[in-house]
Amino acid sequence: MPDRGGGAGKESRPDRGGGAGKESRPDRGGGAGKESNMVDDDAWEEDSRRADFVEQFALLRELAGSPRMEGRVLGYLMVSNKPYVSSAELARALSASAGSISSTTRRLIDLGFVARHAVPGDRSHYFKVDDDIWGSFLAGERRSLGKQRQLFEDMLTELPDGMPGPRKRLRNARNYFEWLTSYHRKMLADWQEYRDKLDAEEGE
């Protein structure tokens, strides 16, 4: 009796209940769950949440003194799930002309917000943003500060003698941008240290 009842019972229950259950649940639940988390880039391009963010970001940039189109392009690239975006897509998504996209992306590149991306064999224009957009902006802004400092320095050498007022103003302007450039260098280093610390804490 122990051989027929206990032995058979112990072998058959795991095969029917535990074995089948363990194999089937991950296939139906886990597999489907992972696939449902995949992002459809085309659907995301038309998503209202993305459009709302782009317009709100553009408005904030405009209030800060930048053209709204710069904010729209930058905002669109920030939340793009693609590694790079074509100028044609930007024009279509933002209902903007090719000329407007061209001038805006040039300006954003000069500011350090956006970079060009070349695709071999493709003559289209593509653009991307760095994961650390604001760190890139700080680095680009520092280059601009250096150019402004040099302008005042050059004018000081050209200024005729006997003009104490203009000389003092130019000297203060040069010294200000010299100080600001040095401060930017420290600020960028501090930001990168802070960013890396948070990335490590968040496991990125």
- The per-residue pLDDT for range 12-21, each reduced to its tens digit, is 444 444 444 4
Mean of the per-residue pLDDT values for the chain? 82
Half-sphere exposure of 128 (CA within 13 A, CB side): 11
Give 184 or 173, the one with higher predicted confidence: 173
Residues 164 and 193 grouped into a single domain: yes
- Domain hosting residue 156, numbered range: 133-201
Give residue 9's pLDDT band: very low, low, confident or very high (50, 70, 90): very low
Q: What is the pLDDT at residue 8?
A: 45
Residues 146 and 172 grouped into a single domain: yes
Q: What digits encode the pLDDT tens for the residues 41-73?
A: 667 667 788 899 999 999 999 998 899 999 999
Give, to the nearest 10 degrees, the angle between helix 68-78 and helix 87-94.
110
Is 166 part of a structural domain of the chain? yes
Residues 51 and 91 grouped into a single domain: yes
* Structural domains of the chain, count: 2
Is residue 168 scored above 50 in pLDDT? yes
Residues 95 and 110 grouped into a single domain: yes
Closest CA to 61 of 157, 12, 133: 133
Last residue of a domain, one of 103, 128, 153: 128
How far, in Å, CA of 177 to CA of 139, rounded?
15
Q: What is the pLDDT at residue 10?
A: 47
